[in-house]
Amino acid sequence: MTVNMTKGQAISLQKSDGGTLTSVRMGLGWQAAPRRGLFGSRTREIDLDASAVLFADKQPVDVVFFRHLVSDDGSVRHTGDNLVGGVGQGGDDEAILVDLQRVPVHIDQIVFTVNSFTGQTFQEVQNAFCRLVDETNGQELARYTLAGGGAFTAQIMAKVHRAGQGWAMTAIGTPANGRTFQDLMPAILPVL
Amino acid sequence: MTAELTRGQNHPLPGARLEIRVSAGTPVVAGATLGDEDGTVHGVAQVAHPGAPTLPGLEVSRQAAADHRLAVDLDAVPDAVHRVSVLLALPTGGRGPARFGAVAAPFVAVTGLDGAEVASYTITGLEAESAVVALELYRRQGAWKVRAVGQGYAGGLAELFADQQLPQAHQLAGSIHEAVASGLARSVPAPPAAAPAHRPDQGTAPRTGTGGSVPPASSPYDSQGAPGSGPGPQGPGAPGQHGAQQPYPGGPGEPATAGQPAAPGGDGPIDYSHPRRQTAAPPPPPPAAAPAEPGRPARPVAGDATGWSMEERLYNQVWGMFEDLARTTAAYRSAVDFADSRMEKELDQVLSDPRNRIGGQGDAAREAARARHGELVSQAREVLDRDVAQLVAEAEVVEPALPAAFARWDNPVWHAYRVPMEIPMALRLGDLHLPEADRIRIPMLIRLPLERGLWIDSGRSASLDGSFADSHEMRRLGLETAVAHAARLLAVYPPGEFTVHVIDPAGSGAQALAPLVHSGVLAAPPAQGAAGATEVLSRLTERVDLVQMALRGGAPDALPPGLDTSHQLLIVNDFPHGFDDRAVNQLRYLADEGPAVGVHLMMVADREESSGFGPLLDPLWRSLLRLTPVAEDHLADPWVGHAWTYEPPLVPPGSQVLQQVLAQVAAARRSWDR
């Protein structure tokens, strides 16, 4: 069962049968919004980038993005940069795999962000979503739609953080501006 | 719905066309007798057996086999017949078991033509019997029913037939066994150890009634056997189309006969493998890890990686282990670093807060900070230990499975060394380990042909055990390591495809080079003096020039006929003694351009000693892969950049394996040269 999340909502990643999740995928998908008017067929390519920042006690320890596809400890993996987005399939265009069992013990939060590398604002993006999938069985755990794209170029999507013995996910959805995750750091720190 | 019958139980049959499947753990003879209302069989013509496999409405196999499918069409059975007894017997005179008590309980099932089971029966409780009436199909008030009989006869088929009042019981039993024996002689000997994975299932799977060894419904027997037996013009002596039965009763769909390694009459080699103990990794399909017990990681299996061959899979697996260990250690180190810095920060805070200077508050805060540190570190250690234990278990299965090129010198595979016919994909240049995970050694596998030359650093270095070897000793060790590497390279290349040259200007390495020189694997004795060095260098330089020109010009055919096209390795001992500027330039040229055209360099040198040449040589050193003759942590992994401790692949002390291998290489080279 998929939970459609709204801003600020937190869900636990405990499985319904009580077991904890071992591996999750954070998927990001988007499509370029069709342009109206003359030369409308000339759609602009939009390059969104998904990144994951690993925090230990509010200090960034490691980051996984298109230039560093695997965290040093191997627990977080980016499947690769997608430069143009989906052409309407609705699948994940970029994905970050998190092996929760192998995340180092001091990492307590993993923040997922999306940036528009090509500089378009989310007004030009359609159907952008971020979803969390149980990688072991392909079940969608949570989906967060980037509703009402505004005039900003980045968004802090969600965070996966330790809660008790397991992990929980919180939808954040804070808009921000920046080309890569470095520009977002000031915006990330308040949501930790 | 399957009815699992017990002895004596009966069950109605839904239709007239049926199949009776028999599964036994060993080849058995299957037959059937047609009896009247009293169960009396009137004559030999009423018995379907391998010598006369077809009767009206009935067909049995010509062969003894572990699995049988008997086609039955009860409508075609003569009206006088009231009882069809299905019997099984162990073949006599063979090497197989002589009594049913020694084999798995046979299983029989009655199925419809679609393969759906109607009733099944496992014949248990047999002991000294060598023949048994398994089932009985009988008429009861116009309809047919099946009864589980399970009546065994210690006297074999003869006694069984006698019990059914067949006058020629003994003769018939004899002719059946004869037919079986001739059938076996006609068949292809069972390939040894074919499909061994099927063996353990034979006894148990059928008993569950789920038909674990049911052949596919589209096997040739289905299409011609059962329907064809309906009209029934064929007498016992006219086999018709069924006479052309395939030597294996069930066709390719039944692996059971082929998988019978000790089939009587088969003259193939004896299968020495334990019938129920399989090797973990049969080469053709990628070995899958056995299913893990819940809550525990899967048991590792050698070759559990992608690749087209076992060699490639093992190579990928080793690199996977390498990466996993690097990353898992990175996780541990970063957690410990974080714990350290957090404790430091907290201690600083305690110190800077003036309130803490009086009373025990400060001590308590310090204590708490240390406890938090300890807790995090021990958690991190726990995770590391878990991962390392898994990798150790993996290494334990992978190491013994490695081929010679990937194996340590102490691996038994080197004692069974054979000169290869193909270049392996990689070569083990030594072992790598990390201080946090001292229990595990990762094979350092480098792709062949070498992309870079090797530099065996005979410079003075602090070995890990804290003892400082003097420079003379280091030089000796360096050359010994070089010899071990060169021997490995020679051994893994096919004969004639790898040539080793040695430059030993001062002759100081004679002792260490002895294994190479004495076994006769070198192209020429080690070159001595400046003249010798120059001669070898110019020859190799010329070769590089020629091959390069030919390749660049797109005319590799234009090479002079006498040119040796094998890979070349040049071992340079004692550099830079006896080298002039010209020779040094040639060396650099070889190091830069050689690998692309199959000329490799192995320098045994101390970098400091060559400092007289100034920065000129820096590019040379950088272009070579530095290895040390003693364990040293100087190699970085490509993922995280840990410093890994490298251990050279030294021959165990007192072992003659190097000499043995080199002797074989030399012999192979001599016969190849001829």
Looking at residue B638, what DSSP letter applies? Answer: S
- Nearest chain B residue to A19 by CA: give it: B295
Domain containing residue A86: CATH number: 2.60.60.30
Say what the pLDDT of residue B283 is: 44
**B383, A73: Cβ pair inside 8 Å?**
no
**Looking at chain A, which residue has its C-alpha nearest residue B379?**
A105
From the list B160, B221, B149, the residue with the least C-alpha distance to B33 is: B160
Q: Which residues of A touch B639 (CB under 8 A)?
A: 70, 72, 74
Instruction: Taking residues B296-314, report their average pLDDT.
Output: 79
Q: Are A153 and A115 in contact (CB under 8 A)?
A: yes
Burial B141-180 (b: 16+ CB within 10 A, else e): eeebebbbbbbbbebbbbbbbbbbebeebbebbebbbebb
Say if residue B258's pLDDT is above 50. no
A60 touches chain B (CB under 8 A): no
Q: What is the mean pLDDT of residues B645-662?
A: 88
Using DSSP, state whether B249 is helix, strand or coil: coil
CB contact under 8 A, B330 and A75: no
ipTM of the complex: 0.83
Across the A:B interface, residue pairs with CB atoms under 8 Å apart total 53
Residue A38 lies in a domain: no
pLDDT band with cut points at 50, 70 and 90 for residue B236: very low
Contact A115, A180 (CB under 8 A): yes
Cβ neighbours, 10 Å, residue B208: 12
Asked if B640 and A56 come within 8 Å (Cβ–Cβ), the reply is no
Inter-chain CB proximity B639 and A75 less than 8 Å: no
CA distance B39 to B311: 63
Nearest Cβ partner of A72 from B334, B376, B383?
A: B334
B334 to A104: CB separation less than 8 angstroms, yes or no: yes
Please say whether the beta carbons of B503 and B526 come within 8 A: yes
| Contact (CB<8Å) B380/A105 | yes
CB within 8 Å of chain A, chain B residues 294-323: 323
CB contact under 8 A, A104 and B639: no
Rounded to 5 degrees, φ, ψ at B19 are -125, 145
Q: Taking 60 as the threshold, does the pLDDT of residue B559 lie above it? A: yes
Sequence-ordered list of residues with C-beta below 8 angstroms from that of B358, at least 6 positions apart, any chain: none
For residue range B16-35, list pLDDT tens digits in order.
Answer: 888 888 888 778 888 888 88
Taking contacts as CB-CB distances below 8 angstroms, the residues of chain A near B386 are none
Q: Which of A146, A122, A118 is nearest to A27 (CA)?
A: A146
Closest to A106 (Cβ–Cβ): which among B324, B376, B387? Answer: B376
Instruction: Tell me the CATH architecture of domain B3-258.
Output: Sandwich (2.60)
CB within 8 Å: A104 and B332: yes
Six-digit token pair at B23? Answer: 């599964």
Which residues fall within 8 angstroms of residue A50, CB to CB, at 6 or more apart? A26, A28, A65, A78, A94, A95, A96, A112, A113, A114
The rounded distance, in Å, linking the Cα atoms of B575 and B503 is: 9
- According to DSSP, the residues that pair with B49 across neighbouring strands are B52
Give B661's contacts (C-beta < 8 A, 6+ positions apart): B414, B417, B487, B491
Give the confidence band of B271 by pLDDT, cuts at 50, 70, 90: low
Q: Is B579 on the interface with A (CB under 8 A)?
A: no
- What mean pLDDT, rounded, does chain B reach? 78
Locate tokens 């299983």: which residue?
A: B107
Q: Does B171 touch chain A (CB under 8 A)?
A: no
A75 near B CB under 8 A: yes
Chain B interface test: which of A57, A59, A106, A165 (most B C-beta within 10 Å): A106
User: Measured between alpha carbons, how far is B73 from B64 in angstroms, rounded to an integer?
Assistant: 22
d(CA B434, CA B564): 42
Which residue did the predictor score with more confidence, B184 or A95?
Answer: A95
Instruction: List, in sequence order, every beta strand (DSSP E) within B477-563.
Output: 498-503
Interchain proximity B330–A57, CB inside 8 Å: no
**pLDDT tier at B422 (50, 70, 90 boundaries)?**
confident
Pair type for strands A23-32 and A94-99: antiparallel
**Nearest Cα residue to B374 out of B402, B336, B426, B412:** B336
User: Do B348 and B382 meet the contact criterion of CB atoms below 8 Å apart?
Assistant: no
Quick check: A170 and A110 in contact, CB under 8 A?
no
Span B430-458, mean pLDDT?
Answer: 90
Side-chain-side CA neighbours of residue B414 (13 Å):
25
Please name the residue of chain A whose CA is at the shortest distance from the CA of residue B295.
Answer: A19
Shortest distance between the Cα of B285 and any Cα of chain A, in A, equals 24
Beta-carbon separation of A106 and B338 below 8 A: yes
Q: For residues B290 and B278, what is the distance between their CA atoms, to the nearest angstrom?
A: 13
A162 contacts in B (CB within 8 Å)? Answer: none
**Does residue A68 lie within any of the structural domains?**
yes
CB contact under 8 A, A74 and B328: yes
Report d(CA B583, CA A64) in Å as an integer.
49
Please name the CATH architecture into which domain B450-673 falls.
3-Layer(aba) Sandwich (3.40)
A67 touches chain B (CB under 8 A): no
Question: Can you give the pLDDT at residue A127?
Answer: 76
Paired tokens of B654:
């007192």
**d(CA B511, nearest CA chain A) in Å:** 46
- Total of domains in chain A: 1
Residues of B in contact with A104 (CB under 8 A): 331-332, 334-335, 380, 383
Which residues lie below 8 Å from residue B123, measured CB to CB, with a gap of 6+? B88, B100, B105, B106, B107, B108, B132, B134, B150, B152
Q: Is the pLDDT of residue A154 over 60?
A: yes
Q: Which residue has the higher pLDDT, B616 or B341?
A: B341
Across the interface, of A57, A73, A105, the residue whose CB is closest to B327 is: A73
CB contact under 8 Å between B338 and A61, yes or no, is yes
Shortest Cα–Cα distance, B329 to chain A (Å): 7
Domain residue limits at A182: 3-32+43-191
Q: Note whether residue A124 is domain-resident.
A: yes
Rounded Cα distance, B447 and B272, in Å? 36
> How much is the average pLDDT of B37-58?
83
Residue B330 and residue A73: Cβ atoms within 8 Å? yes
B275 contacts: CB under 8 Å, gap ≥ 6 = B196, B199, B200, B261
B520: left (phi over 0), alpha (psi -120 to 50) or beta: left
Q: Which residue has the tokens 């003036």?
A: B354
Q: Which residues contact B407 (CB under 8 A, 6 or more apart)?
A: B399, B413, B414, B428
B window 364-383, beta carbon within 8 A of A: 376, 379-380, 383
pLDDT in tens, B457-511: 887 665 444 455 577 888 888 888 899 999 999 999 998 888 899 998 888 888 8
Domain annotation covers residue A140: yes
What is the maximal distance between C-alpha atoms in chain A? 57
**pLDDT tens digits along A36-65:** 666 656 666 778 888 999 999 888 989 999
Least confident of A62-76, B90-104, B227-241, B423-437: B227-241
Q: Which residues of A touch B342 (CB under 8 A)?
A: 57
Q: Name the DSSP letter for residue A123.
A: G
Distances (CA, A) of B293 to B19, B111, B289, B299, B355: 39, 36, 12, 9, 55
User: Under DSSP, is residue B202 helix (H, G, I), strand (E, B) or coil?
Assistant: helix
Q: What pLDDT is recorded for position A90?
A: 64
Q: Which chain A residue's Cα is nearest to B342?
A: A57
B339 touches chain A (CB under 8 A): yes
Q: What is the mean pLDDT of residues B41-66?
A: 82
Q: Is the CB of B328 less than 8 angstroms away from the CB of A106?
A: no
Please check whether residue A174 lies inside any domain of the structure. Answer: yes
Q: Quote the CA–CA distance of B210 and A4 in Å, as a whole number.
A: 44
- Note whether A101 and A129 are within 8 A (CB): no
Distance CA B74, CA B110 (A): 13
Whether B101 and B128 have beta carbons less than 8 Å apart is answered as yes
Average pLDDT over residues A10-21: 64
Chain A contact for B530 (CB, 8 A cutoff): no
Which of the two residues, B661 and A191, has the higher pLDDT score? B661
As a whole number of angstroms, the distance between CA B137 and CA B152 comes to 17
Q: Is residue A37 a part of any domain in this protein?
A: no
Phi/psi of residue B68, each to 5°? -130, 155
- Is the peptide bond preceding residue B649 cis, with omega within 30 degrees of 0? no
- Minimum Cα–Cα distance from A108: chain B residue: B335
Is pLDDT of B309 > 50?
Answer: yes
Retrieve residue B259's tokens. Answer: 């998988």
For residues B528-561, one letter each, b for 16 or more C-beta atoms within 10 angstroms of the residue's C-beta and e for the rest, the string is beeebbbebbeebbebbeebeebeeeeeeeeeee
Identify any residues that bridge with A97 across adjacent strands, giving them in sequence order.
A25, A77
Q: Contact B335/A72, CB-based, under 8 Å?
A: no
CA distance B46 to B106: 24
Q: For residue A58, which residues of chain B lie inside 8 Å, CB to CB? A: none
B327 touches chain A (CB under 8 A): yes
Confidence class of residue B248 from pLDDT cuts 50, 70 and 90?
very low
Mutation pick from A20, A73, A107, A110 vs chain B, by most beta carbons of B within 10 Å, is A73
Cis amide leading into B236 (omega within 30): no
Residue B449 structure tokens: 């042909």
pLDDT of residue B64: 77
- What are the tens digits of pLDDT across the range B368-405? 999 999 999 999 999 999 999 999 999 999 999 999 99
Whether the pTM exceeds 0.80: the reply is no
Report the chain A residue with the minimal C-alpha distance to residue B320: A74
Tell if the CB–CB gap between B335 and A106 is shorter than 8 Å: yes
Q: Which run of H or of E encompasses B293?
A: none
